[in-house]
Amino acid sequence: MNDPFFVLGVSESADDDEVKRRYLALVRAFPPERDPERFQAIRAAFEVLRTARGRLEQRLLRSGGSALRRLKLSCLEPATPGVTGRVSRATVAALLLEGAAACVDPARDGKAGGPPRGMTGSGEG
Amino acid sequence: MGDESDPVKRVDAMKKKSSSAPAGTASPETLAAAGAAFVGQGRFKEAVEQFKSLVRLDPRPEWKRSLVDAYVGRARALAGKGMVKEALIVLENTIAANGVAHDPWLYLGCLIRQGHHQKALAYCLRHGGEAGSDDGRLADLLAALRLAGQSPPAAGREDNGKSKAAEPVLRCAEQALAAWSGGRSDAEVDQALQGISLRSAFKPLRLILKSQIAGADNRENSRKLLGMIPAESAFAGWRRAALAALAGSDDLLAEWGGLSPAQRRYVAEARGLSADSLRCLDELEQAGRIGPAALFTALLKRADSLPAAAVRAGCLELVPGAPDRLPQFEARFGVLAPLDRHRVQALVAEARGAWREAERHWLDVVAALDRQADPEAPLAKAVIYRHLVRLVRTHEELSDEDFRGDLVAKYLEDGLTADPEDLEGTLDLIGHYHERGETRDWNQWVDRAVQRFPRDSTVLMAAIEAAAERNAYKKAATFAKKLLEIDPINQQARRRMIELRVAHARKQMRSDRPDLAWKELAQAAEWERPDAPSGPLRIAQGLVGQRLHPGAGSDARLAEGVRLSGDGVAGRLRAALEARLMGWSDRTLAPLLKDLQKGLKGSPDKDQVLAVIGLLGQREVRATKGTAAQLLDWVGSWLAQGAGNAWSPAEFQSIAETLVALKAYEILATFVRHVPRQDAGEPVYRFYRIVARTEGRADRLDDREDEELMEILDQVVARQDFILSNRITRYLDDDETGVGGSGGGGPRFSFDGGEPDVGLLLEFAQGLEAMLGDVSEMVAELGREGAVETLMQKFGKSPLKTMPEDLRRQLCEAMVEKASAPKVRPGRRRGRGRPARPEIDFDE
């Protein structure tokens, strides 16, 4: 199972109220009829973290990964808080060429198989 | 078929003889067949050589086509191995005079992979129309290439109508992209996007830019827009990056490892991440793929640019997965506190499967917590003790009871001392003592639980059971009432209370007091729900009623009870059983037995057998001496006739277990004999065949059965059937015979007719004298009944464990009698000589 703190998006010091609040918010955002798998994961994480005992058990008995996750999350913060950046043409071009290569990937079975209409050669080279 | 008929083998053989000129020694048709066979076998290189030779001899169109097919096959194989450059060289051979490749998508794929974007664009324009054409996939590819800034070389431009028509859309798309990328206002970008029709190949650009403008504020809408781009589009990579850029940080982190470098760069730019953050994330991601040690090193390298506390915490998390990094950790961040150190060492030991070592370290963590003033420390200790309970239960090396005592109980109790509010732990401990038959501790913990959790239905149910076990019916009723206040529809509590009252009514009947029994049953009826009448209660009322007020009313009650108890043999047997338990004589039982006999005609079907087995498995059958034998006498042969039904292993096991509990080994053997031959290998059947043969005694196993049992055990463990594997282990420990047993070793007395060891008996008798003081205390604390039960258990684990139960009970009662003699009220003694049977204190 994934780190339940990660799944619920709460810190290890979260209390009962915070865990419950976050759980309800996530359940509203990902109701079971729309995203059953995610709902199950959220539900399972809540069951683990709903009590102080459960949270302590996670902290003491599992090697976790929460600290590492927090560290990575800090890397995802914008360099200047609140300011988003601009995407360069070069980056878009790289993405498009990557996408073009992927959509005609010769190593991919089936995808590169059928010749486009009107383009088939006679085969007599 | 001989070798000569296989063209490939013939050609291979010829090649061995003369690799220079195979074509000269075989007919062209043979060579063509061999070439086709090579293609079929995926040996394209050899197929190419074959057809090249043939075409050189005679350029027949079919051989030329086969040669091209072989080239394409070879190119595909090379591309599949990532040798795109080589594949492209091979494919150049398939280009026809008019410049069209035999497999254009493969050719285009290779061109783009090799970075020949302009050539690819030119090929598309020259041979397949261009953006805006009716071939969606090609138009999509062209649009992506054009937007990526690729312009076709002058030679590749076809001045056709479609090309011209697409130019304005392309310009609009480029303008919109430039405006968005240049940070122009949303309105300007939006205006430029107006020129892109949703039917054009640039539709994905429009959707992506719209989603990015709507941004995180309208995430749902943005997702919907992006969801309209098909996964096979050349814009799909950009779509995934755009989705990631919009995602919350947690989702993005989860997604990060699956993003390509270009997608990560896109996300970083869109979200305004610093270049250093991007590098850091990439490094950690890459190191994480290698393992905890590599990640630890990567984190330490980054220690100067990241918050020190965060790096320390991250590294500490990694140490259990990379224990050799502990010295490095301590050199960098200082020596770990004892608590952290032992915790890490415990986790490391667990990862290695060194359970004793893990246990020691966890106990060290508890000791470290004892020294802390942290308000969370008691809960932390409780958590660790529960963890230790789990470890002891799952790892045999920890649960060696002979040397280490009952560690499960110890750790559970320690955990409850640290956190008395732990309901789950309390119930676990109560269940543990109950299962082991340690009545004194069981009662003690039930009492504590009731005080601490007075409104918990599971605790109250356990309290009912504990009170019932002590025959304290009033107390049980009090708990049941409390339970039904909390949980009015609790069927289990109602059923149990009815059972208890009916059981007591039986005793009144055996004492020839049908009047009291009638009252008792009236009280039992108070627990009945009008919509769920109880069959056993109706039967009991009918039987007592026949004694007190014979007549149609009582007969009708009895008939109703039989009907409610499943009718047929099961219902009639229930009635006969109840009468037997009430002490009816054979003469008074006769009409009921006659009625039962009527039902025993013909072989029973599965439902009938299972219903009767369910009745035979009930506690009152086993609890009353001789009852099981009596019932089997009535229905045993009829039951055995049902052995021929088709039983699933689970049904068979359930039947077999009841028969074993009743020691009905002959009937069990009949069931085993009827197992179909094709199912005889099933471990369940094999095991009970051995049980039936040895009459449940492992000491009667012969060598062959011993070996077979080990084989069965291996099989059931392999298929993770832990129920049967535990059952086999219990059988081997001789649990059900009461002989031997899994308890501690030590000397045993033999009561099977042989000479007991007089020395041992003498030694034991001296010990008994010393015990009497303890017994007095026991009586004062638990009452006579409780003291007798406790002594029964103690002797059950002593060298007297082999003593027949009746004899053992008499001994215990005598001890209790002796120990409590001065305090016993005169009225409670029943006479001299044989110790009195303890009275049931119904009004405790």
**Mind listing the pLDDT tens digit for each residue in B527-550?**
888 888 889 999 999 999 988 887
Find residue B532's DSSP bridge partners: B529
> What is the pLDDT, as a whole number, of residue B597?
86
Which residue in B69, B103, B306 is closest to A71 by CB distance? B306
Stretch among A100-109, B71-80, B110-119, B212-221 having the lowest mean pLDDT: A100-109
Model confidence at A45: pLDDT above 50: yes
Contacts of A89 in chain B (CB under 8 A): 149, 177-178, 181
**Mind listing the pLDDT tens digit for each residue in A85-94?**
789 999 999 9
Model confidence at B762: pLDDT above 60: no
> What is the pLDDT, as a whole number, of residue A125?
31
Could you tell me which residues come within 8 angstroms of residue B699 by beta carbon, excluding any fewer than 6 positions away? B734, B739, B740
Stretch among A20-29, B414-423, B511-520, B525-534 having the lowest mean pLDDT: B525-534
The answer to whether B253 contacts A105, with C-beta atoms less than 8 Å apart, is no
Q: Identify the structural domains of chain A with CATH numbers, from first to last.
A: 4-75 (1.10.287.110)
Per-residue pLDDT band for B302 (boundaries 50, 70, 90) equals confident
Per-residue pLDDT band for B382 (boundaries 50, 70, 90) equals very high
Residue whose pair of structure tokens reads 């865990």 in the numeric block: A19
State what percent of residues in chain B have pLDDT above 70.
83
CB-CB contact of B94 with B102 (8 Å): yes
Model confidence at B160: pLDDT above 60: no
Best of B48, B65, B98, B105 to mutate (most A CBs within 10 Å, chain A): B105
> What is the C-alpha to C-alpha distance for residues B813 and B827, in angstroms, rounded to an integer?
17
**Mind listing the pLDDT tens digit for each residue in B319-357?**
888 888 989 999 999 999 999 999 999 999 998 889 999
> What is the pLDDT, as a whole number, of residue B9?
63
> What is the pLDDT, as a whole number, of residue B734?
61
For B670, the 3-state DSSP assignment is helix
- Tell me the one-letter amino acid at B405: G
> What is the pLDDT, as a whole number, of residue B686?
93
Which residue in A73, A80, A93 is closest to B149 by CB distance? A93
CB-CB contact of B77 with B103 (8 Å): no
The answer to whether B273 contacts A9, with C-beta atoms less than 8 Å apart, is no
Which residue in B61, B93, B237 is closest to A98 by CB distance? B237
**Mind listing the pLDDT tens digit for each residue in B647-680?**
988 899 999 999 998 889 999 999 999 998 888 8
The answer to whether A79 contacts B101, with C-beta atoms less than 8 Å apart, is no
Q: How many helices and strands in chain B, by DSSP H and E? A: 44, 0
Which residue in B106, B144, B382 is closest to A106 by CB distance? B106
In chain B, what is the straight-line distance between the N-terminal and C-terminal CA atoms, in Å? 94
Could you tell me which residues come within 8 angstroms of residue B133 by beta carbon, excluding any fewer than 6 positions away? B139, B162
In the predicted model, what is the mean pLDDT of chain B?
81
Stretch among B42-51, B66-75, B153-162, B525-534 having the lowest mean pLDDT: B153-162
The CATH architecture one would assign to domain B261-425 is Alpha Horseshoe (1.25)
From A34's Cα to the closest Cα of chain B, the distance in A is: 13
> What is the C-alpha to C-alpha distance for residues B826 and B840, in angstroms, rounded to an integer?
17
> What is the C-alpha to C-alpha distance for residues B44 and B67, in angstroms, rounded to an integer?
10
> What is the C-alpha to C-alpha distance for residues B565 and B841, in angstroms, rounded to an integer?
31
> What is the C-alpha to C-alpha distance for residues B821 and B829, in angstroms, rounded to an integer?
10
Contacts of A98 in chain B (CB under 8 A): 237, 260, 262-263
State what percent of residues in chain B have pLDDT above 90.
25
The answer to whether B128 contacts A119, with C-beta atoms less than 8 Å apart, is yes
From B626's Cα to the closest Cα of chain A, the distance in A is: 50
The answer to whether B383 contacts A86, with C-beta atoms less than 8 Å apart, is no
CA distances from A47 to A27, B378, B415, B571 (A): 13, 22, 21, 45
Domain boundaries, chain B: 3-210, 261-425, 760-796+809-844
**Angle, nearest 10°, between helix axes B136-147 and A89-103?**
150
Contacts of B284 in chain A (CB under 8 A): 68, 71-72, 75
Stretch among B106-120, B141-155, B585-599 having the lowest mean pLDDT: B141-155
Best of B269, B300, B390 to mutate (most A CBs within 10 Å, chain A): B269
> What is the pLDDT, as a whole number, of residue A106?
63
Task: Give the ipTM of the model, two decimals please.
Answer: 0.72
Contacts of B266 in chain A (CB under 8 A): 87, 91-92, 95
CB-CB contact of B95 with B87 (8 Å): no
Higher pLDDT, B780 or B428: B428
The answer to whether B250 contacts A9, with C-beta atoms less than 8 Å apart, is yes
Closest CA to B727 of B770, B673, B691: B691
Per-residue pLDDT band for B830 (boundaries 50, 70, 90) equals very low
CA distances from B43 to B37, B48, B57, B235 (A): 8, 9, 22, 36
Chains A and B: how many Cβ contacts under 8 Å? 272
Higher pLDDT, B715 or A19: A19
**Which H or E element spans position B512?**
none
**Mind listing the pLDDT tens digit for each residue in B671-716?**
999 998 888 889 999 999 999 999 988 888 888 888 898 889 888 8
> What is the pLDDT, as a whole number, of residue B802?
61
Least CA distance to B68: which residue of chain A?
A: A123
> What is the C-alpha to C-alpha distance for residues B790 and B785, in angstroms, rounded to an integer?
9
Per-residue pLDDT band for A82 (boundaries 50, 70, 90) equals low
Least CA distance to A117: which residue of chain B?
A: B135
Model confidence at B11: pLDDT above 50: yes
> What is the pLDDT, as a whole number, of residue B774?
66
Could you tell me which residues come within 8 angstroms of residue B307 by beta carbon, excluding any fewer than 6 positions away? A71, A74
> What is the pLDDT, as a whole number, of residue B62?
85
**Mean pLDDT of all residues in B772-777:** 65
The answer to whether A72 contacts B253, with C-beta atoms less than 8 Å apart, is yes
**Mind listing the pLDDT tens digit for each residue in B245-272?**
888 887 888 888 889 999 999 999 998 8
For B529, the 3-state DSSP assignment is strand
**Mean pLDDT of all residues in B434-463:** 92
Question: Which tokens go with B614?
Answer: 């369910």
